Structures are given as C-alpha cells and as structure tokens.
Amino acid sequence: MFRCGIAYPRCRWILPILILFAIIFDIIAIAAQSGWVEDENAKTHYASMWTQCRGRNDQWDCKSLMEFSWAQAVAALMIIGLIILFIAFIVSVVALCCTLSIPLLPFIGGMLILAVIVQIIALVIYPVKFNEIIYEGYYNYTWAYGFGWGATILMLGCGILFCCLPRYEDELSGIEKVKYIYSSA
C-alpha cells in the first residue's frame, strides 16, 4: 500500500541545480561590497574581500586590500574555485542532462573536490591574516563570508555524490527497477 523508493533519475537534474546554487553563492561572496567582516560595536570599520572601509554614516575612507599579498591570494583562490566550479557545472549538465555519461561523473566529483580545497584555503587565510594585520577589536563575519562557506559546503556534498553515482549506473539510466525501502504486502 505505502511505498517509499529512491528515484535515482532525479539526481540527473538535482545535482546540476545544486552546482548552479553553489555558483550563485560564490558570485555573491566574491562580489559583495558590504563586507566579509564588520566592527561589532560602533560599525565604523568593515572589510570585504577587496577593500576595507573606515568611517561613519556617509563619510567612508576606503582602501584596497589588494596591496597585501594574502588578500591577492584569497581573491585569486576564490576566483579559481569559481572557474573550476563553472567548468564542473557545464560538464555536469552535459554528462547528466544531455546524455548520461557515467565515466565523466568521477571527473566532475574530482573537480568539485579540488574547488573545495582551493576555497577552504582562501576562506581560512582571510580571517587568519585579517586578525593578524588589521584586527582592532571585535568583528563579526557577515552573510557574504557565509555565502562563501555555503558554496564550499554545497560543492563538497555534490563532489561526494558525483564520486558515488557511478555505482548506481543502472538506476540512473532507468534500466533497474526502483528499489523500495518499505513496501507493505
């Protein structure tokens, strides 16, 4: 009477959509001008991946963080991660949505894991170096920095799924019958 099954063909559409969300999150994190960190108390200092600004109300003195080598490295790593993610998205659409190409799935998973490693390095370097060089009090990490971590977590999950999917080739192609977790007779 009640049947609950796993429909693997849905993964063919869901995984590229999740990668697209990771791309959107990454773009938000990279392009955010409102800052990755902001001063906790007086809201007089904030810094994005690109600049840091000090001041109040409409009088802000902004300076580029690109004079620091660590900030250049963070920007480069985040952009490299986004490029790898974009390539993985295109390949995943071709491999899953256009035609089912099982040999490409571990390659996509590997690309996503590589992008995760690159972005984790960037997302760890930023707060360490910010606290070491610019830190002057208590700071909160904002939603833009969180979007960077959100994209990285999505990429990690998708990378693991892409590496595991070749085991379920028959289920993905629709050859094998749906396996039911529970069925009542």
Q: What's the pLDDT tens digit per position in 143-170?
A: 889 999 999 999 999 999 888 877 776 6
Is 179 part of a structural domain of the chain? no
Is 180 part of a structural domain of the chain? no
Is 1 part of a structural domain of the chain? no
Comparing CA positions, the residue from 14, 4, 7 lying closest to residue 162 is 14
Is 183 part of a structural domain of the chain? no
pLDDT digits (tens), the chain, 185 positions: 344 455 666 667 888 999 999 999 999 999 987 778 887 775 777 888 888 888 877 788 888 888 989 999 999 999 999 999 999 999 999 988 777 778 888 999 999 999 999 999 999 998 888 888 876 777 888 888 999 999 999 999 999 988 887 777 666 666 666 666 666 65
How many structural domains is the chain composed of? 1
pTM: 0.83
Is 59 part of a structural domain of the chain? yes
CA distances (Å), 180 to each of 6, 57, 89, 119, in order? 7, 60, 30, 38
Is 182 part of a structural domain of the chain? no
Distance CA 103, CA 166 (A): 8
Query: In what side-by-side order are the strands of the sheet with 37-39?
Result: 59-64, 51-56, 45-47, 37-39, 139-141
What are φ and ψ of residue 17, in 5° steps? -65, -40
Give residue 176's pLDDT: 66
For 74-86, the DSSP string reads HHHHHHHHHHHHH
| Bridge partner list, 3 | 183
- 3-state SS, residue 134: coil
Distance CA 15, CA 89 (A): 9
Handedness of CA 42, 43, 48, 53 (dihedral sign): negative
* 104, 95 contact by CB (below 8 A): yes
CA distances (Å), 62 to each of 53, 55, 85, 121, in order? 4, 9, 31, 26
Give residue 132's pLDDT: 83
Say which amino acid occupies 78: M
Give residue 182's pLDDT: 65
Is 76 part of a structural domain of the chain? yes
Give residue 28's pLDDT: 93
CA distances (Å), 102 to each of 132, 159, 162, in order? 46, 14, 10
Is 119 part of a structural domain of the chain? yes
CATH number at residue 134: 1.20.140.150
Quote the domain boundaries for residue 70: 7-174
